[in-house]
Structure 1
Amino acid sequence: MAFRIDLTLDCADPTRLAEFWKLALGYVDEPPPAPFATREEWLQQFDLSKDDAEDGAWLCDPAGVGPRLFLQQVREPKVVKNRLHMDVRVADQDTAAERWATIAEAVRRLTGAGATVLEEVPDHHVVMADPEGHEFCVC
């Protein structure tokens, strides 16, 4: 039996970072679980202390194919390289030139949204960091 996975990113500003990842992945805000009208209403059932009730953002693939993404606010900053990173696959063209042009366009779009290029492996992939430093590859 296969299981679904969700990904969680610790971050300082989930609301801001959610906008970046919605652009990068084509994701949307995930609605609250039924029967709740809002995430705030859903969270109230857990009786969280003020310290535990930090900001968060829940994103999902509108097609229901990709993993859900939870952006969780944490106080401590990121200090080391990720042990796990995402590969954002944007290119499926037949020719290498078309494939690389698609990757380059995605990199331009993501740097415009606050990402940083860390390394380019020509004709294969680009290693980037999101606005809070989480590493990912565009391929």
Structure 2
Amino acid sequence: MAAKIDLTLDCTDAQLLAVFWKTALGYIDEPPPAPFRTREEWLAQFDLADDESADDGAWLCDPAGDGPRLAILKVPEPKRAKNRLHLDIRVPGHGGPDERWARIRAEADRLVRAGGTVLEEFTGHHVMMADPEANEFCVAAASA
């Protein structure tokens, strides 16, 4: 059996990024692990420091269960450099190069409206973007 992976994203505002990434990926808030009924109940077992709260993290999942889980965690230090690992959002659909590029551009435009920023366009291939905290990701066509 192949190992499953989770992705963890450090940030300064977990709730802001959770809203963005739910919009970008179609993800939902992941339910707390059993037997806990809420994230707050689950977090209470860790005896958080007085300056930490449940809002300092967000846990997202693919509602179909196919994609990796995404943990978004507040950290004290700011982002300092380009990501060494980034996400590629693959836009589904078929068609010729112009149709694929139109779908990529439409998805990039949607993500700009959700708070993302276009960093660079590689016309006909992909768009390099950043989320609201400058974490890089790309929008490209899905593999045929």
Residue 47 of structure 1 and its aligned partner are, at CA, apart by 2.1
Structure 1, residues 59-101: CA drift from partner, whole Å, max 9, x if none? 0000000000000001111110001000000133131111111
Residue 52 of structure 1 and its aligned partner are, at CA, apart by 5.4
2:88 and 2:6 map into 1 onto residues whose CA distance is 15
Q: Which residue of 2 aligns with 1:18?
A: 18
The within-5 A match list for 1:76-91 is 76-91=77-92
Gaps of 5+ in 2: none
Cα RMSD for the two superposed structures: 1.3
Q: Which residue of 2 aligns with 1:98?
A: 99
1:11 and 1:80 map into 2 onto residues whose CA distance is 13
User: What count of residue pairs does the alignment treat as equivalent?
Assistant: 139
Residue 51 of structure 1 and its aligned partner are, at CA, apart by 4.6
With normalisation by structure 2, the TM-score equals: 0.92
Q: Which moved more, 1:6-15 or 1:95-104?
A: 95-104
Q: Which residue of 1 aligns with 2:40?
A: 40
Q: Which moved more, 1:95-104 or 1:124-133?
A: 95-104
Q: Which residue of 2 aligns with 1:9?
A: 9
1:116 and 1:50 map into 2 onto residues whose CA distance is 34
1:48 and 1:132 map into 2 onto residues whose CA distance is 24
Residue 21 of structure 1 and its aligned partner are, at CA, apart by 0.3
- AA at the equivalent of 1:91: P
Q: Which residue of 2 aligns with 1:133?
A: 134
Q: Which moved more, 1:90-99 or 1:111-120?
A: 90-99
Q: Which residue of 1 aligns with 2:116?
A: 115
Q: Which residue of 1 aligns with 2:69?
A: 68
1:77 and 1:43 map into 2 onto residues whose CA distance is 24
Residue 35 of structure 1 and its aligned partner are, at CA, apart by 1.3
- AA at the equivalent of 1:129: A
2:17 and 2:52 map into 1 onto residues whose CA distance is 19
Gaps of 5+ in 1: none
With normalisation by structure 1, the TM-score equals: 0.95
Identical pairs, percent: 65
